[in-house]
A and B are shown apart, each in its own frame.
Chain A
């Protein structure tokens, strides 16, 4: 059996259960109760009295419910009316039932049905009302006890009537009861309490509720809180204002968060407004959502209001707008960023400028595309500089290629010139040796070359050859060499009589001649030794011819020692008569053999070969006279040397000592002392040795 939920409506009939023995079911009493307005149901036991508004226990007729049953039912539904009908003889049972929880007992004989029904009705109604009241109280209690918000009820003087536990706690009270009769002034800082009081006055005056206001609460100890407050006039059942009530929520944290967010938003805004690059965000339809000052400047507008909600079509000519939209489309379709695109962008108030643009898809937290973020940097200046550089480089490259071509041409011409020079050298040669000698040399040497190579060719052929054939070939090779040597000497001999004279240091000429024959000396294992000479005076000579002389003497010295050895060279100056060792040529009538005494610079070349027999010394200068083995010398060398020395107004002497080799001396007059440029004088000279 449940407690009735709603007060019984007036039109509803009272539902009455009657616990009575079966036999009494038809009793008149029940019919009369029914006539009086009740729906009567006869039940055998108390537990069957379900859903009734009240129950009658007919003790008089003999019903005997258990006392525990009654007690239990009463405990369960204290407001459930249980009436006992008693008669004489059943009073005791009736009293017990009352003690167990029944409400009242009636004497059967005195029951007046109509009054009974009305009485029960009023009891039931009251019970229901009490239940309803208890229920309402339960709701309010739950609300006030448990909700974290502060709820209060005040009277017309702004005194607390009722507060929620949360509020009591906020006030530092042990129980909400302790707030009764007190005011804001008891809990808040004075200026706050005053303000609140004034607000309530206003509220009461206008009858207008204040809904969801954010206001600051200040406590006497200085604590401040932000509260979201609603204050409403409290009306009674007649609608008269009897006080106020309100609910406040602590939104301090929320407010702080909001402030922090605001701060951050402002910071971000300041940042993007300070960045010189244009930054903007568009939605999926291409409308601007957010942009920065740089972007606004580019568009030529003063603020975001002129931009937000618009599209590129509102700012740019159709072709440009179409291009931008196509770029946006590409980003959205592929979901990929467009990075560092160089493009010309329209700029308000000027010509399009080069920009570096990056477009990135904007995604919602769940990953879905929500729009595009774009950042665009003006790189016009750099781009112009780049192009300038490119042009300059292209120009430089062109010049470089031109120069290279010119250089190539120059190099080719240079090479050609050098060869032309060589041509001249040869021409000079031809002049110097004379046409005849040159002609002979050429005409003889070419056949000799053929023979030479022919001999080598035959010798090199793979066919087996007998010893005689081999010897023959060798002899032929030697014969060629001899002929070759003769022709060479002839060329030397035919050298022009023209001399190029200049002052020279004889020591240097000696050095050069020694350098020229160095290789030959190494091959022959001959050591060249130069003895120190001290300072030599200047000598007028033809360098080439002087070198030729010395080279000749040195080569002779080397060839005199086929087993190797040493050649000593010494240069020096002599100022009085010379140790001449050669008798003047009797056939020479020129008088040139009579040497002028004076200063000479000389060179002595000494070898350790076999020397020359004294008897042959005078023949040595004859053309084609040679002491060398057949094929080794031609006999022209010394002839030429002597001729050259005579041309210099110098001379040559040879000393021969079979044990110690040959000593050859050449002497050049010192400049200014009867050298080649001056006429000779005949002066007596002393001959020593023989």
Chain B
């Protein structure tokens, strides 16, 4: 079975490294870390991920803008994007799966929740 390709865009290198180690440790994923949001588009075009985890609050450019770029890029128009966000209230965490229609995960996130979210939003291989 082919491994799904996951790209994580977040300025926290410690976090992205752990995401990569955790996901690749399951044997089901191949993960690309991108800590510079300005490079996210180029990286994505090269890596061609099956799903992108996107931090919202980043220096220089926020997740929403990165997502907009990705959506206009032709080959990546259809790739599922999941936001990782720190700014979520108790109410939102309990009652919502999306912000403005986009799926999100609130930090901190447990590995099994992360895996479930990835599987929910990508096609089976």
Q: Which residues of A line the B interface, CB within 8 A?
A: 412-413, 415-423, 425-426, 429-430, 433, 438, 441-442, 444-454, 456-457, 460-461, 477, 480, 484-485, 487-489, 491-492, 495, 516-517, 519-520, 547-548, 551-552, 555, 637
Contacts and interface: CB of A to CB of B under 8 A. Distances in A.
B108 A451 contact: yes
27 contacts: A412-B71, A422-B99, A422-B100, A423-B62, A426-B62, A438-B87, A441-B86, A442-B57, A442-B86, A449-B12, A453-B19, A453-B111, A456-B110, A456-B111, A457-B21, A457-B25, A460-B22, A480-B108, A484-B108, A487-B86, A489-B90, A517-B95, A547-B91, A551-B91, A552-B90, A552-B91, A637-B90
Q: Specify which of B14, B26, B77, B96 lies most central, judged by the most chain A CB atoms within 10 Å of its CB.
A: B14
B25 to A, nearest CB: 6
A213 B3 CA distance: 108
Contacts of B21: 457
Contacts of B102: 422
Given A450-B18, A460-B22, A548 B91 contact: yes
Given A422-B64, A441-B86, A446-B15, A453 B109 contact: yes
B73 to A, nearest CB: 9
Interface string B90-125: 110111100111100001111110100000000000
A492 B86 contact: no
B42 interface: no
By DSSP majority rule, is chain A's interface helix, strand, loop, or mixed?
A: helix
A448 B108 contact: yes
Contacts of B108: 445, 448-453, 480, 484
Contact of A446 (B12, B110, B114): B12
Nearest to A513: B95
Interface string B1-34: 0000000000010110011011001100000000
A551 B112 CA distance: 26
Contacts of B89: 433, 488, 491-492, 495, 548
Contacts of A417: 68
Contacts of A442: 57, 86-87
The 10 closest A-B pairs by CB, nearest first: A423-B64, A445-B86, A419-B68, A456-B111, A516-B95, A452-B108, A415-B71, A449-B108, A449-B107, A453-B18
Given A419-B67, A457-B22, A412 B72 contact: yes
A224 to B, nearest CB: 97
Contacts of A426: 56-57, 62-64, 85, 87, 99
A421 B90 contact: no
Nearest to A409: B72
Contact of A454 (B18, B67, B85): B18
B76 to A, nearest CB: 11
Residue with the highest number of chain A CB atoms closer than 10 Å, among B12, B65, B89, B112: B89
A240 to B, nearest CB: 123
B45 interface: no
A450 B99 contact: no
Contact of B72 (A416, A441, A451, A480): A416
Given A456-B22, A460-B22, A419 B107 contact: no
Nearest to B85: A426
Contacts of A430: 87
Nearest to A544: B91
B90 to A, nearest CB: 4
A492 B93 CA distance: 11
Nearest to A438: B87
Contacts of B62: 423, 426
B90 A453 contact: no
Nearest to A637: B90
Contact of B71 (A419, A421, A447): A419
B66 to A, nearest CB: 8
B87 A491 contact: yes
Contacts of A451: 108
Given A415-B77, A419-B64, A477 B88 contact: no
Contacts of A418: 68, 100-101
A418 B67 CA distance: 10
Given A450-B12, A453-B15, A461 B25 contact: yes
Residue with the highest number of chain B CB atoms closer than 10 Å, among A419, A448, A485: A419
Contacts of A413: 72
A449 to B, nearest CB: 4
Contacts of A423: 62, 64-65, 68
Contacts of B86: 441-442, 444-446, 449, 487
Contacts of A446: 12, 15, 86, 107
B68 A415 contact: yes
B87 A433 contact: yes
B100 A421 contact: yes
A457 B111 contact: yes
A449 B110 CA distance: 8
Contacts of A448: 107-108
B123 to A, nearest CB: 20
Given A441-B86, A450-B18, A551 B110 contact: no
Nearest to B13: A450
A532 B67 CA distance: 45
A420 B91 CA distance: 24
Nearest to A442: B86
B100 to A, nearest CB: 5
Contacts of B101: 418, 422
A457 B18 contact: yes
Nearest to A461: B25
A441 B86 CA distance: 6
A517 B96 CA distance: 10
Contact of B88 (A444, A488, A552): A488
A637 B95 CA distance: 15
B72 A415 contact: yes
Contacts of B22: 453, 456-457, 460
A584 B119 CA distance: 52
B33 to A, nearest CB: 13
A548 B95 CA distance: 10
